[in-house]
Structure 1
């Protein structure tokens, strides 16, 4: 009883020591290589690493069985083995996530194109989910194979695998369709995290992409959940697929006596002072006429869709205020004539 207890305490102490040594080593390497984020990200693996070490040592020394006076067939050895396999799967998922996140961080530092960064971000996020799902499935399968009953029925399971596959394929047709649609979106570059899209008349920003659905943040902070198959089977608008910048437009219905040249000068003066205008393009033109009004369109560019929306609001307000203060007759009026 005394030596198994000493063995157990030594196992716990060795686990804590190994975790501390590895963490300190990663911290020193990270401090010496600040441009390599992988080492600091690997520090997140400390808990699954310690769990893997302690279960491996317990499996080798087997002190619990002697402390609790368990027999070989009571499952203590098998339980520790299952914990070891689960901790190994957890550790693998953490390592893969750290490596992929480090790749993304490195890519962001060497690439100045926001569109490429968004594309790689979407692809790496999808790849991480796929790899994690595969690791979980493989780990669960290996854990099931440790049971003797599962090995015994293995032959019958293989014999009926064709029928089960057909039934599962029919039952999970929608799920599998979303899964492959998610892969197509991630690597087909049709929509990325951060893109501004219009779905069923609702504009929003893609906030998250999973294997089965997309989360779109609307202008009023609501979240629209859309199956990924929608973006493969139906048309949608992607305002930022090539360039995050946008052309904002303001339409005004004004009187025929409106001084268009002066209004054009007022627009340019305001844009030069506005922080949201990117300085690329602007224009003010008369695009249409009616018997009672003219249609004036003011256009200007902005860096992002959010900037374009706010710039459009501000310019509309400024132009109307300018006409109200200096040329009130230019605002549309309902004319009546006698006789």
Structure 2
């Protein structure tokens, strides 16, 4: 196989005998390399991207489109590396070209591995999305999504570091430096650890979060008094999306070093509370019945958690606490708003005396002076009339 390949290149080389040897060899090399790149791209586009099938065929088509350019670069580099010895090139130039395309081949291979990891993660995530009815309630799906995303990014980092290291190790000075660095690995690790301790801390935190999962993609978290959703978990930081579309960038280590509220850790269901301040004359039986009707009519209610209790009383009002459960935190907010609106409108129309009132009364004391008295119906007018009749 190698013999016919060399002989074919030599025959092509003879066609350009009228040109300077080095220039002719370089021209043949790059023209053939471009031809090989075009042929490989044509095969990928025309053959692999048209493979039928839903699952396996779709995966092959996606991989063909994503890996097209790394595959073209790798095939072309391999062809040029094998073609260089058959052409009439100076030894120094041939060695430099072979080294250059060997580095390009290593980088193309590493890029292909990184994209392959991304394809695998995307395929798994699309399977999760297709099987999930409600992302907020799919705790297991979000758990897998977080693990896959974090493992994908860690794999990309490791592949990138190894690829760059392999490319640099093809240079003799770097290889010798690497061997000497291994001899003093203890001191080097200490220096690197101090220089990149924040990066390493977040990388280790990412591995811990992928395993223990105190926070997942899609979780709702109470962060500094705001409602936030975990929009993205990167290798070193987390993107939190606030209810008003603001984004908060938080280091991964924060979620291991500080307490926080995760409202969707085991379940997306949440019990919300509504507080009403009413007068002592409020008809509680009627209000409790009406609240039950309001909650049952709300589509956000989960059908399980509901209670109405007089939770507190002061010298002027009583405090009513209404609790109702919803399937998600957002639905809980809407449910509480609907309860407030419905019960306030009903009280205003049917028993407005139930709203908090301020009472004032004055009555005559035994010494003909006026005394300011209790917080109830005023007896002031009858007593004044009695005095004026004397």
Does the CA-based 8 Å contact 1:276-1:303 persist in structure 2?
Answer: yes
Instruction: Give the Cα–Cα distance (whole angstroms) in 2 for the partners of residues 181 and 17 of structure 1.
Output: 46
Give yes or no for the alignment of 1:53 onto 2:75: yes
Q: Does the Cα contact within 8 Å between 1:18 and 1:50 map onto a contact in 2?
A: yes
Which residue of structure 1 aligns with residue 209 of structure 2? 185
Does the aligned pair in 2 maintain the 1:41–1:102 contact within 8 Å?
Answer: no
Deviation of 1:198 (Å): 1.7
- Contact 2:221/2:230 (CA < 8 Å) preserved in 1? yes
Within a 5 Å distance, the mapping from 1:64-103 to structure 2 comes to 71-72=92-93, 75-103=96-124
Which residue matches 2:43? Answer: 21
Q: Equivalent residue of 2:74, what SS?
A: helix
Q: Does 1:280 align with 2:301?
A: no
Partner residue of 1:11? 33
Q: Report if aligned partners of 2:50, 2:61 keep a CA contact under 8 Å in 1.
A: no
SS in 1 for 2:306: strand
Residue number in structure 1 paired with 2:170: 146
Check if 1:208 corresponds to 2:232.
yes
Q: Does the CA-based 8 Å contact 1:249-1:297 persist in structure 2?
A: yes
Report the TM-score when normalising by structure 2: 0.78
The number of residues matched between the two structures is 336
3-state SS in 1 of match to 2:231 = strand
**Within the alignment, does 1:199 sit opposite 2:220 as a pair?**
no
1:49-108 C-alpha deviation (Å, 9 max, x unpaired) = 222222222222249x979x8952783332222222111111111111111222233345
Question: Structure 2: how far apart are the matches of 1:24 and 1:274?
Answer: 55
- 1:36, 1:106 within 8 Å by CA — same for their partners in 2? no
* d(CA) in 2 for partners of 1:218, 1:17: 50
Q: Does the aligned pair in 1 maintain the 2:302–2:325 contact within 8 Å?
A: yes
Query: Bigger relative contact order, structure 1 or 2, given CA contacts below 8 A and separation 6+?
Result: 1
Residue of structure 1 in register with 2:290 after alignment: 266
| CA 47–336 in structure 1, closer or farther in 2 if over 3 Å, else same | farther
The partner residue of 1:300 within 313, 324, 336 is 324
CA offset digits 1:270-327 (Å, max 9, x no partner): 3333333333332322222222111112222222222222222232222222222222
1:199–1:236 CA contact under 8 A, matched in 2:
yes
Residues 1:250 and 2:274 aligned together: yes
Q: Distance in 2 between matches of 1:250 and 1:25?
A: 63
Q: Aligned to 1:211, what secondary structure does the other structure show?
A: coil
RMSD: 2.7
Matched, 1:32 2:56: no
| Partner Cα separation in structure 1 for residue 58 and residue 360 of structure 2 | 73
Q: How far did residue 132 of structure 1 move?
A: 0.3
SS in 2 for 1:284: strand
Asked if the contact 1:282–1:298 (Cα under 8 Å) also holds between the matched residues in 2, the reply is yes
SS in 1 for 2:142: helix
179, 182, 192: which one aligns with 1:168: 192
Distance 1:132 1:288, change over 3 A: same
SS in 2 for 1:275: coil
